[in-house]
């Protein structure tokens, strides 16, 4: 298994990815935050590596971030192990060197090929139970796909997770590499031919804030502004593109929602009118390449803007 540097970003003929660091929090002469809204452009070089043994705990942490309060319901270590063992496909992003923790991961796991792993069984059961039963056609299709019973129609889980302050521009080279690695793996007769590509997207909806105009906490019941018809927003902007290509999709809430709301880090969301959730997206193989091409094009144009 190769653990060498895949590609140093930027290359000599490319401009570095620029990260915007806000300096608006600097105090003014009166001791209050300055509202000049100044921003400083910081050039950051990102290095791309194959997942490695040293990344195990960091990958588990990124997966824990994805599943939040429900992380305890899944054996996430199984997925970290698979990404490291099958590292001919998948990319981590680091800033310092290979020994540092990854700031982002884009990889894919063949759930059908790994269906005997405890974590895979737990994940498929978890997601199947989250599918809304009122939509019988959707429920039937999703449960059939997640049963992993077909020997020739494999399901690949595309794991895309990064720290919240990572720029979306890194996704263009990452998806390009993923696309190339999948093609190479198929040529080597590795099990990377998929009928369905599965994504778990981090989403949120607007709710009534628990903080009043004076910054005081309001002890009132939080209700969505537009109930069930409220608009869904994505923490990772490229997920909006993925949703356009998804054959099947549905929103779901955390099983441990009470723990989610009780956590101090999560209370900050509800305090300011944000209710985090998740969305399952299933993209058919016939649309995968077009989806990747739009993601890479959009993320690249974002970088050039």
Q: What is the pLDDT of residue 270?
A: 54
257-283: burial string, b at 16+ Cβ within 10 Å, e else: eeebbeeeebeebbeebbbbbbbbbbb
Give me the pLDDT at residue 97, please: 85
Chunk the chain into consecutive blocks of 10 residues (it has 305) and report each block's average pLDDT, rounded to whole numbers. 48 42 37 50 81 97 96 98 97 91 97 98 98 96 97 97 93 96 97 98 80 49 47 93 98 84 52 82 98 95 56
- pLDDT at residue 23, rounded to an integer: 33
d(CA 289, CA 175): 10
Residue 300: what pLDDT?
Answer: 86
Residue 240 in tokens:
């909006």
Q: Give the pLDDT confidence score for residue 18 in this predicted structure.
A: 39
Give the number of C-alpha atoms closer than 13 A to the C-alpha of residue 30, restricted to the C-beta side. Answer: 4
Q: Using an 8 Å Cβ cutoff, are 156 and 108 in contact? A: yes
Q: What pLDDT is attached to residue 81?
A: 98
Q: What is the pLDDT of residue 206?
A: 82
Buried b (16+ CB within 10 A) or exposed e, 103-130: bbbbbbbbbbbbeebebbbebbebbbeb
User: What letter would DSSP give residue 59?
Assistant: H
Instruction: Report pLDDT for 266.
Output: 52
Q: How far is CA 50 from CA 82, 101, 209, 222, in A?
A: 13, 12, 42, 43
Angle between helix 118-130 and helix 76-85 axes, rounded to 10 deg: 120
Query: What pLDDT shows up at residue 40?
Result: 62
Q: How many CA atoms lie within 13 A of 234 on its CB side?
A: 17
Which tokens sit at 91?
Answer: 């990319």
Rounded Cα distance between 278 and 254, Å, is 8
């Amino acid at each position: 298994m190769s653990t060498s540097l895949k590609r140093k970003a930027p290359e000599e003929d490319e401009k570095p990815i620029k990260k915007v660091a806000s300096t608006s929090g600097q105090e003014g002469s009166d001791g209050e935050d300055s509202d000049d809204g100044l921003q400083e452009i910081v050039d950051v070089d990102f290095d791309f590596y194959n997942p490695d043994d040293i990344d195990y705990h960091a990958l588990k942490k990124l997966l824990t971030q994805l599943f939040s309060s429900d992380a305890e319901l899944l054996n996430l270590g199984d997925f970290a192990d698979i990404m490291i063992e099958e590292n001919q496909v998948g990319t981590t992003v680091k800033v310092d060197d290979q020994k540092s923790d990854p700031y982002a991961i884009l990889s894919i796991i063949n759930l059908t090929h790994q269906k005997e792993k405890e974590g895979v069984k737990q994940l498929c059961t978890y997601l199947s139970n989250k599918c809304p039963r009122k939509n019988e056609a959707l429920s039937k299709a999703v449960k059939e796909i997640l049963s992993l019973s077909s020997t020739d129609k494999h399901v690949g889980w595309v794991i895309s997770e990064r720290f919240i302050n990572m720029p979306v521009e890194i996704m263009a080279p990452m998806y390009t590499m993923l696309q190339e690695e999948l093609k190479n793996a198929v040529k080597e007769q590795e099990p990377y031919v998929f009928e369905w590509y599965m994504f778990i997207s981090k989403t949120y909806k607007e709710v009534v804030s628990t903080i009043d105009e004076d910054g005081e906490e309001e002890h009132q019941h939080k209700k969505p502004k537009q109930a069930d018809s409220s608009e869904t927003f994505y923490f990772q902007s490229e997920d909006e593109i993925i949703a356009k290509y998804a054959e099947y999709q549905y929103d779901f809430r955390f099983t441990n929602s009470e723990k989610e709301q009780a956590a101090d880090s999560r209370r900050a969301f509800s305090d300011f009118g944000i209710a985090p959730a998740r969305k399952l997206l299933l993209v058919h193989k016939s649309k995968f390449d077009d989806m990747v091409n739009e993601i890479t094009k959009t993320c690249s144009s974002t970088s050039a803007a």
